[in-house]
Amino acid sequence: MFRRIVVPLDGSPLGETILPHVYRLAADTSLEVLLLTVARLPSATQMAGHLRDTAETQGEPRAYLDQILAEEERDHRLYIDGKARQLAASGVAVQTRVRVGHPAPEIVRCAEEEHADAIAMSTHGRTGLDRLLHGSVAEAVLRTAHVPVLLYRPEAGALMSAKERLEAYLRENKVPFQVQHHAVAYTAQQIAASEHIPGKMLTKVVIVVADGKLAMLALPASYRVDLAKASAALGAQEVRLAREEEFAAAFPNCEVGAMPPFGNLYGLPVYVDQALAADETIVVQAGTHTDTLSLQYADFERLVRPTVAEFAHHA
């Protein structure tokens, strides 16, 4: 089993699609994650432009280029540190590195110097003309690395918003649904009031940490989780409510607190309270604080295959 992996990020949304997979891998093990970003050296064309600019301003070329690189490193540091904070808040052991150079060789060197057991990365962080100019970084790493390289090829809908992805998923599975839009609302009670529906019909999602692992609970908005019953239902010794910063990284395309109860789309087990399972129609948040979807509970159960149990009571 891997003890330490290097995870290169290039700042692109597609490149970041590896993060939920890294989170789930680290959550199940004592894995240490090393997030890496590489500030590219200026191309010959860029350097010529920089030199021309300094000549026009009578500046020192070397000092100007050093300034450009320093700014690149600073921006990359701010970016990678932000991603590291998200993973660390979820309980993942994480460190960061910023290197300067060409991405593929720097990724390989970093893995060697840091004694990593593997490299994990997305395969399409760059596309179009940029990829034609620079080649495939993932392919170059795969050819030259001396440790296993775990490549993740994002799905076609990886960059969709949660709402777009959920709608596409339901259409693909021939599930009828209806979309509702409402004013911004941050609590289940506010949503129910805004859409003039009973609280029991609206599905509330609660993320818990069960023996150190995230799990999704779905219950009527008018109910509250009983942690003792939830512990029994999940077969866990300890169950507590997860903090927002602990689960935000697991839902990269959702607004925090607006996750749909389709944990199967995010690699999380789903538990449904029996009170919700008794409803014929349910209303779920669609990843935003302004949109919901209504569908038949039977269709939801068919797709998600949740565990139905009793772990909530009427508020």
* Residue recorded with tokens 């109910």: 223
Instruction: For helices 19-27 and 61-89, give the axis angle rounded to 10 degrees.
Output: 50
Please, where in the chain does CATH 3.90.960.10 lie?
Answer: 162-314
User: DSSP state, 12?
Assistant: -
Q: Is 205 exposed, middle or buried (0-12, 13-18, 19+ CB in 10 A)?
A: buried
Answer yes or no: pTM beyond 0.75.
no
pLDDT attached to residue 308:
95
Of the options 3.40.309.10, 3.20.20.110, 3.90.960.10, 2.30.110.10, the CATH number for the domain spanning 162-314 = 3.90.960.10
pLDDT attached to residue 243:
85
Please, where in the chain does CATH 3.40.50.620 lie?
Answer: 4-152
What is the distance between the alpha carbons of residues 75 and 68, in angstroms, rounded to a whole number? Answer: 11
Give every residue of the chain whose pLDDT is below 50, as ranges: 44-46, 55, 57, 125-135
pLDDT attached to residue 41:
67
Q: Is 57 exposed, middle or buried (0-12, 13-18, 19+ CB in 10 A)?
A: exposed
pLDDT attached to residue 64:
59
Annotate 250-289 with DSSP letters as a single string: G-TTS-TT---S-GGGTT--EEEEHHHHT-SEEEEE-SSS
pLDDT attached to residue 125:
45
* Domain 4-152 CATH superfamily: HUPs (3.40.50.620)
